[in-house]
Structure 1
Amino acid sequence: MLVGLVTNAVSEQSQWPSWLGWLQENPWLSFVILGVVAAGLTGLLAALDDRQVPARSPEPAVRPDDGAGPPGAARVLRSLPRDSTAFTNRAAELESLVRSVQASQENGEGLPVHVIDGMPGVGKTAFVVHAGHVLADRFPDGQLFVNLNGHTTGRSPVQAGEALASLLAAVGVPTQQIPVGDDVGAITEARAAMWRSRFADKKALLILDNAASYRQLEPLLPGGTGCLVLVTSRKRLAAHEEVVLPVDALPRDHAVDLFVRLSGRPSDMLDEGVLNELVGLCGYLPLGVSLLAARLRHHPSWSAEDLHERLVAAQDRLGELRAGERAVTATFDLSYRDLTPERQRFFRQLGFYPGTDLDAYVGAALGAVSVATARRYLDALYDDNLIDEYPGSRYRLHDLLRDYARGLAAEGDSMDQVQAVQRVCTYYLAALAVANGRIVRSGAVAPPPPDGAQQVETPALPSRSDALNWVENERANVLACIRQADSLALHDAVIRLAAAMAPFLRQSGPWDQAVGLHRTAAEAARQTGDQQALADALAELGVVRRFMAAYPEATEALSEAVTQYDAVGDRRGKANALNQAGIVWYLTADNEDAARAQTEALALYREVGDRLGQANALADLGMVRRQMSDFDAAVEAQSEALSIYRELGDRYGEGNSLRDLGVVHCLMGAYDVAVQHHQEAFDIYVELDDRLHQAYALNELGVVRRLPGDLEGARDAHTQALEYYTELGDRFGRANSIRHIGTLDRLSGDGPNAIRALQEALDAYRDLGSRGGEAASLSELGAARGMVGEQDSAVEAFQRSLEILRQLGDRCGEAEVLNHWGALLRTSGNEAQARGHFEQALRLARDVRCPLEEARALEGVGRCDLGIDGSTEAAELLREAITVYRSLGAGASADEVERLLASRAG
């Protein structure tokens, strides 16, 4: 507008009248004045707009999780809930939905989000479930149902990140692959991207029930155009390209039909006027009508007039409620008063349950009754339409009924809620103790069951898979109980439940969820001054941080745990924390600290007689010694660990020790022994159905195949390992596979692809803080860059690699870099300088007994001597290299040197 005014002002086509002529005579000054005025008005309007914001009707808040409280989780059903028998004629709404979906599919258009809104009790969930069953055949890739708790009393709305983690797990994404981290926004975006990618080409149905706002559900929308998303909410959501289907109260005749059908009475026995009055008092809401009809069905001696009289009396008694909910609440009260006193108490206790859904075992804990009794009560409440049934013999209260149950419970003793939550926590502790008996490794110490666990009925979990499935199904409910216990200052329950969930979360994740849990447990321990519990929580926090490759945070937590264990005199706990800290230092190649931690942990394990701990410390110490090129010490430690693992029957430990022994023997040139160890380890991991460790073994097998010259066999192994790592989300293992594939590309003469792969691996190692991986990638990257003529970049990579390796004390790796660098110098014509690098490599390789690098160094010195003066000593060095190559089975390298000697002799 300003530009237009000034353009007009400087125009010579016309003269402006009155004071506007001054603007025309001073156009640029006018421009400045008008700009200042516009800016001032903009600021004023913004201020006025901000001051009006509170007057708007905001969407229910979906607060970002700052990590300060216990974690949450969403409950996802992998199939639709059962279609409701109380569903009544919604022909117009259903026809509109089906027509919209059909039109989009036939035209090849993306399916819009369909939002079903309406007041509580109007039947939104029943409608989308029924519609889902009608439309299921159009979406063969599956149906998912998730309750977002947008308006559930006592539950915070499900955060988008939590819902995404649960959805990804529900569609088969391994939890280790689900992105984790401390930046909630970034992690939500990463999970959303993975979710969209997974469903990019799917035809699936997703029901998002009880949404609070569009902001809550937007990250959950699939990326593919073939997915149908049905959303229910109590308010209109501002979705893009949405189709809104409002679900209103039933028309009077439909409400009457529903009442007659559910009452079990012939229509000719019911007075039409009374029926109209009854459904009118229910506000024509399906929930109220179905409850009222059930009352009549369960009282054959009542007439419709009797029911009407009772409903009017109940409505009068609850007259203080808002008009919109009064009639429905009156039907609740009428249904409630019809229950026996025992069932009334049981129903009230359900209002205290923090979770989303429950089974008979949880019901028994809530009601302080037997499981058989709880099952009868739940079935009766379902028959009375006071509770909904879901697949797997699970039940859930409608939000309005939950509100009603809580209101009834609030009229009693204020301690009832605390006691109910305590009983449920005790049940979960007892059940988790059974599950952990199947989950933890042989010889490991599982969290103990609670006092009185023998009196608590728990489900039978005969196998490890049964235990894992049970914990996965109950995860959201256990975390909800921890949140409730934390809000009620039940610190002991928080601490013990966090410890009981730790074994499952260690291996199943998501690990950011575990971080939030252990932080909450640590804070609870600090509140109570329980140093033992604090140490345990910090140790678990450190382990999970290590899994997340957050090494500084892991070290901090584990170091504090060591201090706390010292303070309470827990030597076993201190040893465990030292062992875990040593693993972190090994991963970051802080070898001296790692060796010190494992040695101290080993001594403590021996003092307390912990054989599994001794084996773990020995195995981890062996890996550190191997990384320091102290191969004899590595074999000694790892062999002792292997013996203990076999004594304990710990197959995981046995497989891990065999794999690392294979790595050491590979470095020492005993390739046949290395292959045997790696194959044995791989077979154990297959037996255990552990794809992550299978990937580790495959990578090592690939290395052993590559060194003697079997490049195709090596590529097959590394490619399969890469697939497993990518599927499981192991970033470190994936970087290793990519680095090995880059090396194969270099050896095959494909320099550009080698550089791309090695640069990707290098970036990943740097992101993870792995200096050993960084050094190995730089070594190979230097060789690849030299191959394509990028000599300066190659030298820079070699220099940085050597710097890191010398800091780490990895002399075998140092010899490999010097050999690469010498080869680059020799092919560049600088044979004298190249000879110096090969000689350094030869001394190092012989010092640590690394025969492959010894052979390469001998070959390098011999080739340099041939180029310099053609001395007879060169031939002797080359023949010595051939002998070492042959002893290693590296026939291709030996053949190449022999051809060189033959050509010189000719």
Structure 2
Amino acid sequence: MGKAGLPGALRGFRERAGLTQQELADRAGLSVGGLRDLEQGRVAAPRPTTLRRLAAGLAMSDVETAELVHLGQRAQPPAYGLRLRVLGPLAVLVNGVGVDPGSVKQRTLLAVLALTPNEPVHLDTLVEVMWAGRPPDGAAGLAQNHVYRLRQRLRSSASPTHPDHLLLASRGGYQLSVTDEQLDLLDFRRLVERARGAHRDGDLSAAYEWYRQATGLWRGAPLADLAGLRVLPEVAALDRERQAVVVEYADTATALGHHDQVLPVLRQATDADPLHEAAHARLMLALAGSGQQAAALGVYEALRRRLADELGADPGPELVGAHRRVLRQEVTRPAGTGPAPVSAHRQLPPDMADFTGREAELRTLWSALPQPGEAGTTLVISAIEGMAGVGKTRLAVHLAHQLVRSGRYVDVQLYVDLHGHADEPPADPATVLASFLHLLGVPGAQIPDGLDARAALYRDRLHGRQALVLLDNAASDDQVLPLLPASPTSLVLVTSRRMLALDGTHTLNLDVFTAQDAHALLGRVAGERRVAADPAAARRVADLCGRLPLAVVLAAHRLRSRPAWTFSDLAARLDAEGSRLGELAVGSRQIRAVFDLSYRALDPADQRLFRLLGLHPGDDFTAESAAALAGVAPPVARRTLERLVDEHLVTPVTADRYRLHDLLRDYASTRARTDDGDGGTGAAVDRILTWYLYAAHAAVRRLLPLNVEVVLDEGARPSHLPVFDADEQAFQWLAAEQTTLVAAVASAVSRGRDDLAWRLPAVLRLYFERRSNWHDWFGTSEIALDAARRAGDRVAEALILSGLGIAYGQLDQTEKAIECLTRSLEIRRAVDDRHGEGRALNNLGVTYGRQGKFHDAIEHLTAALEIRRETASEYDQGMTLGNLGRAYAGAGQHEEAIRCLEEALDLRRRLADPVGVASALFNLGEGLMRAGQHRQALAHLYEARDLYHEKHCRGFEAETLEVLGDCLLLCGESIRARECWQQALEGFDELGHPRAEGLRLRLTQHSG
């Protein structure tokens, strides 16, 4: 029968027996690849014992067995029989005998060439892989030596030339020249193509057989023994290729009802890739089709939990669809298998080994439970609510496992994901009850049809039992109510992204991690050593994640998968503008997908306001400012905000203020840019900036009605502005909105609105001066100065320079102050602004007085007073008179000083200007003290201190306290003097004023 005798006989015997290669290989205890090699004559004849095993598998008679063995003895091996295997650990057979390719580098060389068979691989690529990116000098020559040694190892004594034709030099590199029969990878692809062709032709049985043979070639992960190659794109692609074929194979098997046969390969695929949703979906269907309903549901819950914990994602539509089919028992089982046995009532998802923190929350949840041994009278329900990604499910599952480990609720543990988000319709309570009853041992035929009947049977089955029911992702109260047992021996844990209103529920609103817990989780996932190497950067990463547990987990996994990165590298990526959401992703899983689920559950009007809130300047907002942003009435905005609070998309800060989590803000602004476009977002930002300008103007005018220089166009006045009926109301509004107002200035610049960018700081300057808030005063004024210059508005430029000069002067940076004020004066004179000229002269005079140049101060202030008596109000005259009086006092001209200061005080009292009165009282008190009238000075200084305190003028109050201490010391009251200085020091320290150091020294000097 010649060389073809044994292969032909084997094929003939097998086909006569009606067996596939897989079935015969299984019976004989061989691999399907090894059998295929025998049938195709690619290897030497096997031993007689192997042939007898094959004969037994074929149920051959003794005569037939003897003939088969005889054929094997007559068979001769091919001249050079090579079988190279990469679908598992690297293996080489030459003429049926295993050959060691040699060193790791030679094995790596052969494996790299085998990954792209019959194609040249450049020598540079081989060198890069063989030396893991760190090739030594002369690596190219060393690689060529390894090629030579590999050829020597592959030589056959029968035909020593053949290996040279396997490893060919080609185009600057080498090429592995092999046939389908010689390389299992090519054989696999050939079989898959046959399977796909048969499937296209409608021959599912043939397709199933070819798929089975193809998947049978795999012996594990590709090149599993060469760990260094796992990073190669070709290996990753080969993994994906295998998984795709397994899914196709499973679909074919499911269509034919061959559920049991495909289970092993599906388990291998899901073990190899624990997050592969398509493979898990097929495994669920195969299990259900094999009568293993509970196991199928267990696969879903385990993967759902794994996706949430490791990737921060929910199951995709394919997996959810398979879950639905299993729940509805829509998977066809082969005839005669009978109903699936069910007794699976311990359904908790696995607890996570890296669970971190939440100690306070766990104590709160435990405290809501009856103590062991107590006889409860009502069902215990605990609800955990919070925004997407905050860790509700993880906390609930961890608590559930703690309870069971402690010996509580050990009879039954049920779990279901109620899909309370927009990815798919919420789970139907009737369907959930059917699944629960099925798990509790109720045969399908005995499960009632109606919701009420199912709920009643469910309550009956759990009555008196220690049952724990975990209802995850609840959509509404109505969805949860039918799923509640009635027995006080049971516990129900509910998680939801929405606020629920279940009677008698203990509710925990879950917030983001503490800084400590976020830091600890980074260490557990990314590695304690990496955290310890740069703890500050690790804290920065946690902060950039908003300490949202899901975001922290994703960041940690991202870092763990990139050993070359440091925490500083990741922090820089997260901090880059517009990239944070994209960086918080692992593979195709992104945090924005989790937010999508909550967003899509909103109605269109709520979606619009939510995404526009991402454009709101500052950290928080009110219903009034949100209304201005969206162009709606405040009551409409308030109702929408409360709905967003219920959805945990907006967080209430106080009774009337709200905020977005940082990541939700990024998400909302991205949605706004996508959904509303430049026109919609630009109009919204213009509305809110204009609203803030006019609202701030109204508040400052209420506080200082005679000192506001900025005039606004009343025709552009927005609607629904706040109304300030009292000074304190206006001040508190400005204090609450201060951060947002500063952010609005930056937003105006980014929008190219220079008119707003200088007007808003010019308005706020008076408030900042009152609060001695030099940081925001300088920051916004510098922005305003640039904007005024870009706009070519010289009057605005002079106004801003004047404010900057005043700020520098108050911080005793007098040279910078004079520079700004002189430039302001020059512009005022150039544009013939007589009123502004008087203001500039006044401010210069004050600054010269701070320098101790009292004669220069008197000269400028006298000129300012002359102009102001011509052009300005009594308010401005009173201001300049007070400043002139201080200059006279400094110069020792006490009579003139007292005269000016008393006139200034009379003007200020007549104008009913409390802050102006306080200023005049302070100036007069200081002047009287300098004139030696210490007791008279004290009364004025005390009154000034009280007025400044009442009007929240912290810096002026501290300055007054310092002078008051000086006066008390002159009166011989050193103890009270030190008390005043100490209070002044506290004020200066709080404000960061440089005067604090000098005062601290004086306190030390007078400590005795």
For Structure 1 versus Structure 2, the TM-score category normalised by the shorter chain is 0.3 to 0.5
Structure of higher RCO (CA pairs closer than 8 Å, 6+ residues apart): 1
What TM-score, normalized to structure 2? Answer: 0.42
- For the pair shown, which has the larger CA radius of gyration, 1 or 2? 2
Higher helix share: 1
- Report the TM-score when normalising by structure 1: 0.47
